[in-house]
Amino acid sequence: MKLLGIETSCDDTSVALVDETGATLFLETLGQETLHERYGGVVPELASRAHAQILPTLVQKAFQETGTNTSDLLAIAVTRGPGLSGSLLVGVSFAKGLAFSHSLPIVPVHHVIAHLRGAFDRVSDLRGKTLGLVVSGGHTHLYDVTRWPKLKRISRTVDDAAGETFDKGGKLMGLPFPGGPSIERMAKSNTRPTFPLTKGPIRTEDPMNFSFSGMKTAFSLKLRQALLSTDGSLSAEDQALWSDSLQTAILDHLFSRINKVIELESPETFLLGGGVAINQVLRERMGALCQKHGINLLMAPPKLCGDNALSIAQIGLDSMLQGLFTPFPYRDLSVQARWDPSE
Ligand code: KG4
Ligand code: ZN
């Protein structure tokens, strides 16, 4: 028996097939960067149309390449939320339609839990007190995941997410979309000392929460000022310096909270997932910190950092083994664009 995973929460269309042991039979993720690039951000309407075009073909490809029929499926797992409603609807409706033909169970999966699931192979890898940080375009959230798959939120961003801050910075500097990978690439070539970005008033009562909007505004104002003395664009050398400075400010802010939570909670295991977790500087700093504290660090491999259907399929299998699924005719299964996993 096989389990099909479908992910369409934002701008990646992803399909995966796993066997009953959880081994990957198929995984393909198609991004829509070229579609959204000229708008400097994801356009929801375009994203859902593209999912509707790509998803059936990608599922057909998965079936053909692995010799799978719908009758071989144990269940279908699909991202239910949070994400863009239109994009989520495409995946959930497709899953319902396909499952309906064979009365298959559906496992509705939480997007944020899937980002953390990308960090480990088996639930038995989670030892002792376990914390998890999700850093993506929509989330910068820290959880206690000791009672996996139950999540207890420790802190969250009160405004923008880390990925959003990278994207906005990249857009302001005219770098290719999305900003995160462009900024990391440019920052690598910087040879000058970085400059600090005043964070402005941090709009949070809880010192464990994250806040990126002040840093984003400081970057934007400072850049506007700097551009006044040029022809309106930055040299490659200056783009490198500005990229490195923004990346350093984002990571320093993340680590101010990570250091504190390690001190307070003394975790045995730490999970890191989400699109920003692909950032090599973040991975190296995280590795050094966890080594210093003797923490078992589990980071999602680069291909599972961003939105992907393999993590969806793996949660699907975990859930089926626990008897947790939505049976035919899927009465209570609708998308949830806003959904707190610790509810
Ligand atoms: O998890 P994800 O694929 O989608 C969301 O759920 O948001 O994350 C996308 C985010 C984008 O903001 C992107 O700029 C960021 O991940 N990202 C990076 C890097 N690669 C992707 N941020 C920093 N450094 C990177 N190398
Ligand atoms: Zn995501």
**Token duo for residue 335:** 């998308």
Hey, do 2-116+304-321 and 128-300 end up sharing a CATH topology, with the first three levels equal?
Answer: yes
Q: Tell me: pLDDT of 343 over 60.
A: no
Residues with CB under 5 A from ligand 2 (ion): 136, 307
Average pLDDT over residues 191-206: 80
313 vs 343 pLDDT, higher one: 313
In this structure, the chain runs to a length of 343
**Token duo for residue 251:** 């990571």
List the domain boundaries for the chain.
Answer: 2-116+304-321, 128-300
pLDDT at 202: 65
Gap from CA of 245 to ligand 1 centroid (Å):
18
Whole-prediction pTM: 0.95
**Token duo for residue 116:** 């953390």
pLDDT tier for residue 20 given thresholds of 50, 70 and 90 = very high
As its CATH architecture, domain 128-300 has 2-Layer Sandwich (3.30)
Specify the fold of 2-116+304-321: Nucleotidyltransferase; domain 5 (3.30.420)
Question: Ligand 1: which atom is nearest the Cα of residue 179?
Answer: 14
Q: Distances from the Cα of 146 to the Cαs of 89, 134, 143, 184, 340, in angstroms? A: 31, 15, 9, 32, 17
Q: Tell me: pLDDT of 219 over 90.
A: yes
At 203 the three-state DSSP class reads coil
Gap from CA of 246 to ligand 2 centroid (Å):
22
pLDDT at 207: 86
Q: What is the DSSP string of 117-185?
A: HTT-SSGGG--SSEEEEEESSS-EEEEE-TTTT--EEEEEBSS--HHHHHHHHHHHTTPPSSHHHHHHH
Cis bond upstream, residue 181 (ω within 30):
no
